[in-house]
Amino acid sequence: MIQFLVHEKADNVGVATVDISRGETAQGLLMDSQESVEITPLHDIPLGHKIALTDMDVDGSIIKYGNDIGRVVETIKTGEHVHTHNLKTRRW
């Protein structure tokens, strides 16, 4: 069962299509290539929220839908929940 989607191969986050529990092996799909990807979440990831596909350093960029949507404000590890506590939007 697909639990998260990655819109483009360049994205460094996926979007949960269901609630994902910490520690389970989550199944994802790269939409542009139809490749499968697996991640072990370090936190519970609610439906619609982002999961980190790679480690990210402070001041790095969050790439979603092939676009830079925000700046990393707290170090992020692969499998972590990416949300307002560790990302600042580029919109404001």
- pTM for the model stands at 0.93
List the structure tokens of 78.
Answer: 């692969």
Residue 1 has pLDDT above 70, yes or no: yes
Are 71 and 61 in contact by the 8 Å Cβ rule? The answer is: yes
SS3 of residue 88 by DSSP: strand
- Domain spans of the chain? 4-89
DSSP lists the bridge partners of residue 63 as: 68
Residue 54 has pLDDT above 90, yes or no: yes
Are 5 and 31 in contact by the 8 Å Cβ rule? The answer is: yes
Q: What's the Cα-to-Cα distance from 2 to each of 19, 28, 52, 61, 91, rounded to whole Å? A: 11, 5, 16, 25, 30
Check residue 90 and give its pLDDT. Answer: 77
> Which CATH code, of 3.40.50.300, 2.30.130.110, 3.40.50.1950, 1.20.1250.20, is assigned to 4-89?
2.30.130.110
